[in-house]
Amino acid sequence: MNLDVPSGRRKTIKFRTRNFSIEDERYWIQPSRCTSVDMSSREIINKLNEMEQEEKLFITYDVIEINPKFATVGGSIFEFINNSMRPVLKCHLSQVKDTNMLHLIAASFFKRSDLHEIWAKCEYPIFAGLLVVYVSNKMRKLFLEQHEPVIAEAFEKIQDTFDDECTALLDQCFHNSERDTRAVLDTNYHLFIHTDGCPSTAEDMEVMALAAAAKAKNFLSHPACQREIDFRWQPGFKLGQMAFCLFFFFPPLFFLRGRQRIKKREIKTMMVKMDMAGQMTSITYSNFMIRVYNFYTSPNAKYVIHTLFRLIYVIFYAYVLMTMTRKTMVMNELDEFLDEMAIIVWQCAYLTEMAVLVYQRGFYNWAERNTADLYRNYLVAMTMIAWSLAVIAPPTWPIRAFAIISADLFFYFSFVFATLRLMKIANVDAFFGSIVLMIKKMIPIMVKFMFVFMVFWFTYAVCHISLAGHLKSTPNITDVVWPWLLFSSGAFEIFGEADEEDKLGTVSKCSSAPLNWDVITDSSVQCWFKTSMIPVFLFCYMLVSSVLLVNLVTALLSKKYEDIDKVSHIYWKYKLYSRLIEYEEKLWIPAPLSLVFYILKFLFYFLSKIPFIGAIFECFMKVLRCFEGTNYARDRRKNRRYEAVMNGLIKNSDRWTGPTEEEKNAVQSVRDQMKIMEQDRKRKRYETDLLRHRFEEIMSEIEHTNRFKRIRSQTFNNA
């Protein structure tokens, strides 16, 4: 069905409110119910109805809920697809100009078999291919949540296939021209894919951002993407991480050995400024000094600063814990835990950073990219709440004692999490990054296998406590002792550390002497039974836990290690882009100084609204903005406008909204390479079909020969 309908034409279609069943033909052919849709949306809905009739995917597996404003299932599917694609398309589906891309998006939601044929017709193949990867990844997660592994596996196969196809297309462009490939990765496709007048053309999204959202690991691990990431991570000079730290803290090294030993990068030395007449002119400074400036303003420099303060935070945290001597919290004795208050203030800075980022990006978008920071801030918030209750609550309240214990518990957990978060710093190195990935993937196996350990552990602990008579030997036992007895009985035996009393079968109020067969009493028989069974239970438990279970979990971890080791380098390279975006947008001032920054910014913002004196504080606001993180997309659009002014294309930079010639050439180069790939694919398909037909002809000729008939008849007779 042709989807090429003018977007300007609109038609209001009204129907009476009627409920049709899925088997009713009217359920599929009614476009909408009392709703206004344009003709392009109507064509898409009709196409989705046809696909759903063939595949029976969304209704069969309850993927969507029927929207009452649409009379057909296609309308509900259309709304679902539109909401799913809005984070990357930034617009309504009807505002996408390429109809083949619309058809490809719809077909990818239904895992159609003709995706490659539709993809070859798209005007922007590399962007459209990554959209298929994005859709497949979302649908794979959706069906995994619905416990449909077969369908999820089908979408995963499509995701991997198009990830490889887009990587192959990028590789072909890379071998054809590395410079054009960098322009391809830097192209803003929102200037191409939307219809005229669409407000989404003001959006900016690079290809690598779409690949990161689609989890296209092979694409982002390609050398072209890695060079672009490395160039933005450390412009000016190319150094190893250890050498970068040395040059960062000892600037004289630039003048002693920098010019001769440091590998230079290709950078643009043009800078733009406004003259007195309001015209833009270009100025060029010393090439070496610009490289040094880019060195100290790079995301890697920001990474070094934040890492240094993170190490200071962990060391100071450890010092506070080791020197903490207080036993209670009293309002009149706050000077006894001022060091703890310093840690709390430091943690408040982390909470403030999270609040600002959540306000800017939204909670779900931030939490998806910073899951570990979210859990850390949960611990920090719980620590602060418990700490506040412990300080404010009167001594007579019972909740005060539990608040003190909770505050200390969360305080220790927060330190453990802070030290473990140091592993994230090591992700900058390939070796440590692979190790962190393996630990992250092995933790779920350990957590699941812990349940198996706990079954045998609990069984042995109950039997051991009953036989040894620990509860009877402790008459004043409380409920708090019960968990400790269950934990201590069998915890260390897993690692082969058995207690000597358990080896000897020591039981309270029972002697270790052998059973006297001449004088047999009830108590002597029971003591003999208990003292004999404790070593037997210990032997069986250690045999199962130390030998069977430990070796079993070791085998599972070894298999997981072998599987991860094959793709660990790809996953590490894929994560480099997330690290780059994180430190490009991160504040230059680390915690706890960032708390002072946000307080001053909040104060200056309100003071700048005051008449007459507001201009002074507005200048202070501009100074504070220099310490904020940069948005690469926004800066790139600004630089393109300046370049357009310098090239004489426009006079006012604010009027520049279209793509540059470099972007147009990059898009055209991808189309040309896509045509070459499609021709090679058709040629290989033709050769394969030719070989298959020739093989079938040869087999047919063999079957009609007399010798073959005679051999086949002899075979049947012998059988």
Residue reference for tokens 């440590």: 432
Q: Is residue 64 part of a domain?
A: yes
Claim to verify: residue 58 and residue 179 sit in the same structural domain: yes
Distances (CA, A) of 436 to 222, 424, 431, 448, 575: 21, 8, 9, 19, 12
The per-residue pLDDT for range 458-469, each reduced to its tens digit, is 888 888 777 777
Strand-strand pairing, 237-238 and 35-38: unpaired
Residue 13 has pLDDT above 70, yes or no: no
Give the residue from 39, 134, 48 showing the smallest Cα distance to 89: 134
- Residue 566: exposure state from Cβ atoms within 10 A (0-12, 13-18, ≥19): exposed
Domain shared by 502 and 528, yes or no: yes
Q: Is residue 522 part of a domain?
A: yes
More confident residue, 208 or 522: 208
pLDDT-derived band at 17, boundaries 50, 70, 90: very low
Give the chain's domain count. 5
What pLDDT digit, counting tens, does each position of 155-191 carry?
A: 999 999 999 999 999 999 888 888 888 888 888 888 8
User: Are 158 and 249 part of one and the same domain?
Assistant: no
| pLDDT digit string, tens, across residues 232-290 | 888 867 777 888 888 888 888 777 654 445 555 544 433 444 444 444 444 444 567 77
Pairing of strands 10-13, 35-38: antiparallel
When pLDDT is averaged across residues 574-602 and rounded to a whole number, the result is: 89
pLDDT, tens only, 77-108: 888 888 888 888 888 888 888 888 889 999 99
DSSP 236: S
In a domain, 371, yes or no: yes
* Per-residue model confidence (pLDDT) at position 498: 78
- Work out the average pLDDT over 303-315: 92
Measured between alpha carbons, how far is 607 from 624 in angstroms, rounded to an integer? Answer: 14
- Tokens 């926004």, residue? 634
Q: Does residue 567 share a domain with residue 549?
A: yes
Q: Which two tokens stand for residue 636?
A: 């790139």
Between 278 and 577, the more confident residue is 577
Cβ atoms of 106 and 46 closer than 8 Å: no
- Looking at per-residue pLDDT, the higher value among 36 and 527 belongs to 527
pLDDT at 454 over 80: yes
Q: What is the pLDDT of residue 33?
A: 42
Give the model's confidence band at 312: pLDDT under 50 very low, under 70 low, under 90 confident, else very high: very high
- Please compute the mean of the pLDDT values over residues 491-507 and round it to a whole number: 76
- pTM for the model: 0.79
62 lies in the same domain as 140:
yes
The three-state (H, E, C) secondary structure of 281-337, written as one string: EEEECCHHHHHHHHHHCCHHHHHHHHHHHHHHHHHHHHHHHHCCCCCCCCHHHHHHH
Q: Are residues 397 and 448 in the same domain?
A: no
Indicate the pLDDT class of residue 709, thresholds 50, 70 and 90: low
In whole numbers, what is the pLDDT of the chain averaged over residues?
Answer: 77
Lowest-pLDDT choice from 62-66, 116-120, 267-271, 636-640: 267-271
Domain containing 250: what range? 237-295
Asked, for residue 621, whether it belongs to a domain, the answer is no
Q: How confident is the model at residue 26 (pLDDT cuts 50, 70, 90)?
A: very low
Q: 338-342, 431-435, 514-518: which has the minimum mean pLDDT?
A: 514-518
Exposed/middle/buried for residue 590 (C-beta within 10 Å: 0-12, 13-18, 19+)? buried
Residue at 587 is within a domain? no
Which spans in 5-148 are helix H? 26-29, 39-55, 73-89, 99-109, 115-119, 125-145
Domain boundary residue, one of 540, 562, 578: 578
The upper half-sphere exposure of residue 574, i.e. CA atoms within 13 Å in the direction of its Cβ, equals: 19
Say yes or no: 137 and 189 in one domain: yes
Q: What is the pLDDT of residue 35?
A: 46
For residues 181 and 306, membership in a common domain is answered with no
Indicate whether 341 and 253 sit together in one domain. Answer: no
What is the β-pairing status of strands 237-238 and 10-13?
A: unpaired
Q: Are strands 237-238 and 263-264 parallel, antiparallel or unpaired?
A: antiparallel
Q: Which two tokens stand for residue 469?
A: 């008579």
In which band, very low, low, confident or very high, does the pLDDT at 374 lie, cut at 50, 70 and 90?
A: confident
Domain boundary among 295, 315, 340: 295
Q: Are residues 404 and 503 in the same domain?
A: no
pLDDT score at 662: 75
CB 414 within 8 A of CB 347: yes
Q: How confident is the model at residue 697 (pLDDT cuts 50, 70, 90)?
A: confident
Does residue 455 share a domain with residue 314? Answer: no
- In angstroms, rounded to a whole number, what is the distance separating the alpha carbons of residues 286 and 291? 9
Of 524, 543, 578, the position where a domain reaches its end is 578
Tokens of 121: 């017709």
- Confidence (pLDDT) at 622: 86
Sign of the CA dihedral with 459 first, then 462, 468, and 470 last: positive
Residue 554 belongs to some domain of the structure:
yes
Q: How confident is the model at residue 706 (pLDDT cuts 50, 70, 90)?
A: low
Specify whether 356 is located in the same domain as 374: yes
415 inside domain: yes
Q: What is the pLDDT of residue 618?
A: 85
Decide if 632 is inside a domain: no
